[in-house]
Amino acid sequence: MDIQSVTSASAMLDRKPGGVKGAGSSAALAKPGALLMALEEAQRACEFSYLSEETLRAIAASTGEPLSRVYSVATFYSFFNLTPQGKNTIVVCRGTACHTRGSLALLREAAARLGMPEFREDEEPSFTTDDKLFTVRTVACFGQCALAPVVSINGTIFSRITTSKLCTLLDGLKKGARR
């Protein structure tokens, strides 16, 4: 995270609410969802889209919030990453419709194709390759259920994915990324 994004995040927190003041809570948080948005913005500004310890400390310092509170929020929500993410992100939707249409097999395939060492079903799957080129993750639901199963690659959602379609997509991505 660079200085600029820390500043802009804290600037956002400093903004005073239009309506009620204080109301028994710290002024910084009277702006609805401010801490969440500051963290989201910081993560977005980071090249490896994650929140490093320094970033969390910087946000805590600039907002006057205890670090423990900032850490609690950052670890609570699945949107925040505490480890560096790959340049390319493959997100396999694990919503119910996708699950009934075989998304677990797609997750396995994506993980295996990109060299994820071992996939365990009972753990929150998130895996980044050593060269930081790829991250494979899951999402609870994209809300794209009618076209299940869906996979998002770098933010673009692909519908009605089959194993062979996924292989083609990943092979293309691999070629592009490693060239």
Partner 1 sequence: MNAREMAAMAARGIVTVKPDVPMISVGLGTCGIGNGADVLFDALVDAASGGKVLVKKAGCFGFCAEEPLLMLYRPGNPILLFGDVKASKAGKFVDAACDEKVYNKLAKTARAKISNWDFRTSAFDFGQGFPEIPEWNEMPFFKGQEKLVLRDCGLIDPENLEEYVAVGGYGALAKVLGGMSPEEGIAEVTNARLRGRGGAGFPTGIKWKMMRQNVAPAKYVICNADEGDPGAYMNRNEIESDPHMLIEGMVLGAYAMGAATGIVYVRAEYPLAVERLRKAIADAYAAGFLGERIMGSNFSFSLEIVSGAGAFVCGEETALIASVEGKAGRPLPRPPFPAQKGYLGMPTNINNVETWCNVPVIIARGASYFTDIGTEKSPGTKVFSLVGKVKNTGLVELPLGTPLADIVYGMGEGAGAHKHIKAVQTGGPSGGCIPASKFDVHVDYESLASLGAIMGSGGMVVMDQDNCMVDVAKYFVSFTSAESCGKCAPCREGLSQMLRILTAISRGEGGAEDLVELDRLARVIKDSSLCGLGQTSANPVLTTLEYFRDEYESHILEKRCDAGTCESLFEALCENSCPLHMNIPGYLALLEDGRIEDAFELTLRDNPLPGSMGRICHFHCQMRCRRETLDEPVAQGEIHRYLADTMYKMGREKDVWARLVKEKKPATGRTVAIIGAGPAGLAASFYLSRLGHDVTVFDSKAKAGGILRYGIPGYRLPKDILDKEIELWKKLGVKFVFNTTVGKDVKFDAIRSQYDALIVAVGAQADKRLGVPGEDLPGVHPGYEWLEAFSLGKAKKPGRRALVIGGGNVAIDAARTLFRQDCEVTVAYRRSKADMPANAIELAGAEDEGIRIEFMLQPLEILGEGGKVKAVRFRVMRAGGIDPSGRPKPVETDRIVDIPCDDVYISVGERVESAFLASEGIPALKDGRIAADALSGRAVGNVWAIGDAVTGPATAAEAMGLGKRTAKAVDEELMQRDVFGTLFRDFGHSMDLPPEPLKTQMCRSKQVPPEERRGNFQEISMGYSGEQALVEAARCLRCDIRANARSPWR
Residues of this chain that interact with partner 1 (CB under 8 A) are 18-20, 23-25, 29-30, 32-37, 39-40, 69, 72-73, 75-80, 94-101, 108-109, 112-113, 118-119, 122, 124, 139-148, 150, 157-159, 162-164, 167
C-beta of 48 vs 119, nearer to partner 1: 119
Conformation bin of residue 115: beta by default, left when phi > 0, alpha when psi is -120 to 50? left
C-beta of 94 vs 134, nearer to partner 1: 94
Backbone angles phi, psi at 158, to 5 degrees: -110, 130
Smallest gap from residue 44 Cβ to partner 1 (A): 11
Backbone angles phi, psi at 56, to 5 degrees: -60, -40
C-beta of 6 vs 13, nearer to partner 1: 13
C-beta of 47 vs 79, nearer to partner 1: 79
Backbone angles phi, psi at 139, to 5 degrees: -135, 150
Smallest gap from residue 94 Cβ to partner 1 (A): 7
Smallest gap from residue 116 Cβ to partner 1 (A): 9
